Amino acid sequence: MKPDDLVVVRPEGLYCPHGDFHIDPWRGVPRAVITHAHADHARGGSQHYWAAARGHALLRERLGKQAQITPLAYGETVRFGAVTVSLHSAGHILGSAQVRIAHDDGRVWGVSGDFKRDRDPSCDAFEPFACDTWITEATFALPIYRWTDTREVAAEIFDWWQAAKRDGQSAVLFCYSLGKAQRVLAELTAFTDETVYVHGAMPGLIKAYRAAGIRMLPTEAVSNIPKGTSFAGKLVLAPPGASGTPWMKRMHPYSTGFASGWMRVRGGKRRLAYDRGFVLSDHADWDSLLATIDDTGARRVLVTHGHGDALIAHLTARGIEASMLATQFEGEGGAAADGEAEAVDSAAAD
């Protein structure tokens, strides 16, 4: 870091000293700008929050009714000290945002939060903007991580579900409760209008997406279905933390699947003991990370969590100043960054 940087690391998290606010702080602070509602980015305890209006209901679900939240439309500006801040769609989940910080002296920084560039009917598309310094996530920053078109993955999920139906099994798809579950429900509208059954961690989040106008398959909470009812032939969505718990007894006999970018790695499906793995990520892949850096025009890139070394080496070879920006989540292998912390925390909700 440099003495006059617009964003630095403090014990509470990323901090803008020129505006006296934090971004996604992991401890309570007076002023917090939140990029999205996943548990590793949106924590309680702060006095006041600013976040994208599209994700306001989700943030309420996360932080509670008493939290002081100021919703901002994408592109709307707010002044903090010597900087003007605006939020821009990150394409990660509903209401996710990048943070643009413009100093009165003309410098512009961008903080990506978690983001993706791929098509997603469950959230707004990524909106690039120019900046001098770009702080980027690097969850999947290796050349092996290149995503298949989501419509093809959705077709694979549907075909697996139909195969389970023919075999008299339920199809239990493990996916993160916020973002991934809603994306699956939205993508599958191209194939069916059948009701999908969901774990108790999901209905409130799904309701918030419906209120935002996102079209998804009809859903029913498993907890609303009488005990002893067979789920044979049904698609059931559950957070990863529900795998191997007594809750699964209701699904027997079943076939299991997991939807995650981590399924791109050979052997991942066997390691996680799922019958099927579907490569579906809400983060940018290698090509999208590089394309986004090009779009920003940034000559300096700071990398947070994930596979930072590979990205830094690649950018340095291209003549771009690049380095790590260490955060609390370094070394967690990306699990928290992809929403698994949120899913595991809520796994006992049903």
Is residue 17 located within the same domain as residue 72?
yes
Is residue 122 located within the same domain as residue 169?
no
Is residue 126 located within the same domain as residue 209?
no
8 Å CB contact between 158 and 196: no
Task: Among 257, 278, 299, identify where a domain stops.
Answer: 278
**Mean pLDDT calculated for residue range 299-310:** 92
Residue 119's CATH number: 3.60.15.10
8 Å CB contact between 93 and 38: yes
What DSSP line would sit under 4-24, residue for residue? T-SSEEETTEEEETTTTEEES
Number of domains in the chain: 2
8 Å CB contact between 126 and 91: yes
pLDDT tens-digit readout, 80-92: 999 999 999 999 9
What integer pLDDT is reported at residue 334 of this predicted model? Answer: 40
Task: Among 278, 293, 324, identify where a domain stops.
Answer: 278
Task: Among 278, 310, 327, identify where a domain stops.
Answer: 278
CB contact set of 271 (below 8 Å; sequence gap of 6+): none
Helix, strand, or coil here: 164? Answer: helix
pLDDT tens-digit readout, 154-212: 999 999 999 999 999 999 999 999 999 999 999 999 999 999 999 999 999 999 999 99
Enter the pTM of the model: 0.92
In which domain, by residue range, is 188 found?
150-278
Is residue 93 located within the same domain as residue 164?
no
Q: Report the DSSP beta bridge partners of residue 113.
A: none
CA dist 98 and 210 (Å) reads 23
